[in-house]
Amino acid sequence: MTNKKLIEGVKIKELKVIPDERGNLMEILRADDEQFSKFGQVYITTAYPDVVKAWHFHHLQDDNMTVLQGMVKIVLYDDRKASSTKGLINEFFVGTNNRVLIHIPKEVWHGFKCISDTEAIIVNIVTECYNYKNPDEYRKPAHDSEIPYDWSRQDG
């Protein structure tokens, strides 16, 4: 994470990989974790190298994201009027080299970019079921929106 101060309501859980001669086991989210509030659904999404999937937020739903394969840069932006961290950006590098779960509270803008050379697989455990008729999803363009973030690689 490039910014050490977390956006209000964001929580990070270190994920422990338990290897043995048969393979690996990794718990992602438990009902007794501080990040857990309720279960809506679990889904997997993928991104090809250099693809950006951003920006969106939810009024009702919290997200709990991790990366199963590859590496992803997950970026959060707090635009909530009453938040003590309004205007703050958090950037996380998550995946094969950094096994963490990121709890993203409702109304925090978020998106991600695949930064690995292969397709990334992201799992999201959300607090609400997707409503096909009236989705709880609000979007802005990934580039050239009023969110002050540049998705290009920063060398240096």
- Give residue-wise pLDDT tens across range 118-128: 999 999 999 99
Distance CA 18, CA 36 (A): 22
CB 106 within 8 A of CB 7: no
Residue 60, by phi and psi: left (phi above 0), alpha (psi -120 to 50) or beta?
alpha
Mean pLDDT score, 108-124: 98
Asked if the model's pLDDT at residue 154 lies above 90, the reply is no
- The beta strand positions in 1-156, using DSSP E, are 11-14, 17-20, 23-26, 41-47, 52-57, 63-69, 71-78, 89-95, 100-104, 108-114, 120-126, 138-139
Asked if the model's pLDDT at residue 4 lies above 90, the reply is no
Distance CA 102, CA 104 (A): 6
Per-residue confidence (pLDDT) for residue 129, from 0 to 100 = 98
- Give residue-wise pLDDT tens across range 84-95: 999 999 999 999
- Give residue-wise pLDDT tens across range 42-61: 999 999 999 999 999 999 99
CB 28 within 8 A of CB 101: yes
Per-residue confidence (pLDDT) for residue 1, from 0 to 100 = 55
CATH number of this structure's domain 11-139, picked from the four choices 3.30.300.20, 2.40.128.110, 2.60.120.10, 1.10.3210.10: 2.60.120.10
Per-residue confidence (pLDDT) for residue 155, from 0 to 100 = 84
Planar angle of CA 140, 108, 8, nearest 5 degrees = 155
Structure tokens at 66: 């991790």
Distance CA 148, CA 130 (A): 28
